[in-house]
Structures are given as structure tokens and as C-alpha cells.
Structure 1
Amino acid sequence: MRDIQTTLLGNATADPIERKQADGSPSASVRIAVTGSYFNSATGDFADRKTEFITVFARRNLARNLLASVRRGQPLVVSGRLSTSEWTGEDETLRHSLNIQAEAIGHDLTYGTATFSKPLRDKDTPDIDPQTATVIPRRPADEDEETDTADEEAGESSYAPAF
């Protein structure tokens, strides 16, 4: 079976919402507004089409990064799998929504600039003592005692993240 893959350009209508999957993995959603335009030959000018609202769903690392990076009103480029949902509202009316399961999300640089930064991996994040708020040193499993003491004597820390 084939999926409908698409790319959308729109603006975030609100800050992303954090969700959890049944297995505990992180997910997030954000609604985007997409307003197309067309050339109206009768007026000789461009006119806006109807605004469409699409719910974007993201999982795992994409969800974490979406929550940390996107805010209301920001222009986005979203690529992923298009789908629809149907449900009955409280007023017994049949409702529909357009959704996209995102594979990639980014800011649309046509309207501004962005700075990219990679989040630290769990193994690069130090352990913090909750009572003293000090860093608890980790001893890497594959390094021997001599390497650790030689680095400490030289004033270097072997616990700094490598990018």
C-alpha cells in the first residue's frame, strides 16, 4: 500500500503540545495554517484561497526538537505522510481533519533566519546530585584508571561532550 507523501508550507497557529505514546515515547502536535494564493485575471492581482488547517504529529526526537524549537506564528516547512481523521462531535456532527505524520520539520527561511544546534545526547549529559547540584563524575567503562588520572593531572576533563 502506498502513502501520500507531501510537503507543506504554513504558519504554526499555536505552540506545540506535548503528548505521550502508550509505550511512553514522546510525541507532539502542532497545528499549521496554510493559505494558498492564485492570480485572479479579472482583477489582475493575486488573491488568497481559503485557509486550511492541518494538524502535524511528530514522534521521538523530532517531537522533542519540535517542542524546543517552534513557537506560535513561526513559518514552517513540514514533510511527511498525509492522512484524514473522522469523528463525531459533541453536537453529533460528523467532523473531519487533515493530518500529517511528520518526517521532517523546519523553519521556512524565506521569512527569517534560524540557528541550528544539536541537542546533547544522554551519554553526554552529566549526572547531577539533586541535593548539592554538583556534577557527579562518570567513569567511562572502556577507559582504564591511568588515562583518567593522566587527564586530570594535565587539567583536562574526559567528560566534555564531543561534537
Structure 2
Amino acid sequence: MNETMVCVVGNVATQPVFRETAAGPSARFRLAVTQRFWDREKNAWRDGHTNFFTVWANRALAANVQASVSLGEPLLVRGRLKVRSEQRDGQSWTGADIEASAIGHDLARGTAAFRRALRGDQSSGAPTRPEPNWETEPADPADPADQAERADGADGADGADGAVLQRQEPALAV
């Protein structure tokens, strides 16, 4: 598999277009990637050449692009680069497409709030797995269950896999 994988950082240059196709959802938009460099003579940052890529997203990624991406937003796009050449009206045109495998907002330039997308099986009302509670409650000395756990050396906090975590006592230097 000799494929050219790229990761580009740029701004959304066109409003994403979403379509339902026979193969599943598809979305596309243009991404502008501008080189920036420090001009020593002017003692300031300058914009260089701008490259434009057509970004294609398919299936679940396309649906999430439709719900999350808007014109002008800074993005990171990772995917497979495809350069195409064609003849139109007697002129030669070259374009660069990225078949995206991952798209995200550039958090160096702003904030985002992540929301997990619902899968097809969860929309039918199937129960979802509860979010783990990473907060641990202090043991109640009057609670017999907490006394039994302390006697076993555990603090009662459950790990991600349901196992009881053991309390680690700090070592004392003598």
C-alpha cells in the first residue's frame, strides 16, 4: 500500500456540502492552507502561498462534519492525498483532494466541546453504558461495608474494568 498520507492545518474555505448517496453519507469542503513565515526585514509575520485542498469525508465522519464544521473554522485534517489532473476547455487543471480519515478543530486557536455521536443501535432506545465516575468518595467509618473493605486493604474505588483498586500507602523515610 503505497499511499501518501498527509496531515494539514488550515481554515474551512467553503461551506461543507453533505449528500446521502447509495454508498452512504458523503461530505466535502475546501480547506485553505497558508504558509506563514517571519519577515526579518519588516520584523513581522507574513502570509506566503496558499494551497487549497478538497476534503472528502464518508460515512460517520461525513455526518459528524455536517454537524460540527462551518465556514472559516480552523481544522486539522488527516487523510490520503490524491492529486488529479484534467483537461477543461483546452486548459490543463491540477487539483489536490484529501480523503479524510480524521478531522478535528485546531485547539491551538480556539476551544471546542466534544459530544459523542449516537450510533445506529443507540437511536433505537437501547440502554447506553453509564459514564464512569472517577471521583472517589471518602470512606465512612460508621459504614460496615467500608470497614470490611479497609480490613481487606482496599479503598472501595472501582477501576475502569470493575476491579477493586488497592490503596498504596506512602513509604516513610527513616
Q: Same fold (TM over 0.5)?
A: yes
SS in 2 for 1:105: strand
Number of equivalent positions: 130
Could you report, residue by residue, the CA deviation over 1:56-89 in whole angstroms, capped at 9, with x for unpaired residues? Answer: 1111111111111100000000011112111222
CA distance in 2, matches of 1:95, 1:110: 34
Q: In structure 2, what is the equivalent of residue 161 of structure 1?
A: 128
Query: How far off is 1:20 after superposition?
Result: 4.5
SS in 2 for 1:125: coil
Residue 92 of structure 2, aligned match among 86, 91, 94:
94
> Residue 18 of structure 1 aligns to which amino acid in structure 2?
F
Q: In structure 2, what is the equivalent of residue 107 of structure 1?
A: 105
CA distance in 2, matches of 1:2, 1:116: 33
Q: In structure 2, what is the equivalent of residue 55 of structure 1?
A: 54
In structure 1, the gaps of 5 or more residues are 127-137, 139-158
CA distance in 1, matches of 2:33, 2:78: 14
CA distance in 2, matches of 1:71, 1:96: 26
Percent of aligned positions that are identical = 36
> Residue 116 of structure 1 aligns to which amino acid in structure 2?
F
Q: In structure 1, what is the equivalent of residue 157 of structure 2?
A: none
CA distance in 2, matches of 1:25, 1:118: 20
CA distance in 1, matches of 2:49, 2:11: 14
CA distance in 2, matches of 1:4, 1:122: 32
Stretch deviating more after TM superposition (109-118 or 12-21) = 12-21
The equivalences for 1:30-45 within 5 A come to: 30-45=29-44
In structure 2, the gaps of 5 or more residues are 131-174
Query: How far off is 1:14 after superposition?
Result: 1.8
SS in 2 for 1:68: helix
Answer with 1 or 2: which has the greater Rg. 2
SS in 1 for 2:121: helix
CA distance in 2, matches of 1:105, 1:122: 21
The equivalences for 1:139-154 within 5 A come to: none
> Residue 58 of structure 1 aligns to which amino acid in structure 2?
A
Q: In structure 2, what is the equivalent of residue 16 of structure 1?
A: 16
Aligned structure 1 segments of 4 or more residues deviating by more than 4 angstroms: none
Q: In structure 2, what is the equivalent of residue 82 of structure 1?
A: 81
CA distance in 2, matches of 1:124, 1:45: 52
CA distance in 2, matches of 1:59, 1:95: 25
CA distance in 1, matches of 2:23, 2:81: 24
CA distance in 1, matches of 2:120, 2:44: 53
